[in-house]
Structure formats: structure tokens, C-alpha cells
Amino acid sequence: MTDVRAQSNKAVGWFAGPDTAITDDRWVSGPTLAELQSLLNISAETKIDGTDFGLEASEQSDDRSFADAAGAQSRSFDSASGSIEIFTPSRGETSGLRVQVWNTLAKPRTKLAIAQRFITNQAAAIAPGQVVNLFRVITDDRQHNRNDVSRTLGIGLVLQDNLLSNYVVPSAVPTAVTLTPDGEDGFDVVVGTPLYLKATYEGVNVTVGADYASSDENIFTVTKHGILIPRAAGTATLTVSIAGSAAGTPIDVTVTAP
């Protein structure tokens, strides 16, 4: 029987570069495709079973996907911690990816931009529509490791002041978020009847995580999970965006009395 097991470690990608590869304002509004593609793909020289760096749950928020009495909640993230382990160049080795990765990460107190990507083949370049976690870190403590088959260096990474969780990689020319009423024909609603929205960006469902805005919250409001709540008869506009996206066209929402 053919062995069809997936090698999960080959679907974990790591990218690194100086933190200045992403400008300060883009750490807030979202990096460009060019900035992300300037990071070095260090996946092949990262020892996956020695790397333990990622997001930490820091708070919780209501989750619309559950409506039971248990008060189910979804996790949010705004911190990270851990370390990354890279292979050590051989004596006399002066070029190649292993040396590039060593020169990028091995020096203590170096500020870095680290991108973490799942599901996609690790050798693939960063492309629009992929989802990454992006961290601004500084290298900290180091631990030299050696076993029967390799020599590695474990590097502590301390999060600095920026983190972008589940960031959707934009196109070279950013596009806008597409908004549709989930299961409904349009955006006309009745007071007291919620409208569930669906937000899509670069082919990714971003309904939970998009930024919604009502031009008049006396007419309607929108929750962080994409639920439009009609409050009073009238007309107001709805806009939606996500980090890195272009501005979309405001949508007119008409609310009528029941």
C-alpha cells in the first residue's frame, strides 16, 4: 500500500529578516507584499522539533458560532514567546542558505521580523492570499546543542512591540474586502432582526477579524464577529476593512420598523 502520510513539518514555513524590512507604519497598517517577500525563507535550516515559538492566548471574546447557555468563547492573541532552533554551519562553510540563516539570527540582541506560515509547502515563496503570523522580536539567550546527526543553536526570541496574527498577505496592489449578507438577498433589514455578514479578502474568509464601521450607530451597529444589529429605522452606510486592504465602497443599509 502506498504511503500517503503528509510530512507536517514540510508545511511549516519560517521567514526572517531585519525588523526594518517592514517600516514602522506598516507594522500597524499591515506590510506590503514586497516587504514580506524580502524576508529570507529560513524553513529548510530551522529544526522544527527544537522550535517552540508562537502565539499565546491573552484574552477571550464572545463567539457567535455558539449560542448555548455555556457562554462559549473564542480566544484572542496579542503576545508570543519561545525560541527557534537553527542548524550550525560546518567549519569552513562560508556561503549558502545555512550561513545566511546563521548570519541573520545568531547574533544576540538583534531585532528581527519573523513570519510564521502553516499549511503551504515550506519551500514556496510568500504569496497573496496566504495567512501568516508576523512578529517583531529581539534575539535573546542562546543554547548550543549537539546530537548524533546535527549541531544546532537554540535562540530565545523576545516579542517587542508588534504582532500581526492571521495576517492575510495582500496583492502587490491591495484589494478591498468583499462583503456579502450571509444567506440573505440584500442589506435591507428590519429592527430587531440581526443580519449575518460574510467578509472575504484575497480568497480568505475574514468575517471574524475584519474591522466594521457604521456611519450612524443609532441606526445599526456591527459586532466584531460580523453581526449587523438593526437598532432604529433609517439609512446609514457600512464599511469594512482589514490590515493591508484597500478602502472599499461604503454600502447603504436601510433599516425599517417591524
- DSSP assignment of 153-164 equals EEEEEEEEEEEE
Question: Using CA atoms, how far apart are residues 95 and 66, in angstroms rounded to an integer?
Answer: 53
Domain C-terminal end among 150, 168, 186: 168
Domain C-terminal end among 127, 146, 168: 168
Residues 148 and 199 in one domain: no
Residue-number span of the structural domain to which 162 is assigned: 8-168
Residue 164 cell numbers, joined: 500581526
The whole-number pLDDT of residue 211 equals 94
The stretches in the chain having pLDDT less than 70 are 1-8, 56-78, 148-149
Residues 82 and 208 in one domain: no
Question: Using CA atoms, how far apart are residues 61 and 57, in angstroms rounded to an integer?
Answer: 11
The whole-number pLDDT of residue 67 equals 44
Residues 137 and 251 in one domain: no
Cell 544546532 belongs to which residue? 152
- β-strands 189-190, 251-256 pairing: parallel
The whole-number pLDDT of residue 4 equals 57
Residues 121 and 205 in one domain: no
Look up the CATH number of the domain holding residue 70: 2.30.110
The whole-number pLDDT of residue 65 equals 46
- Asked if residues 165 and 139 have their Cβ atoms less than 8 Å apart, the reply is no
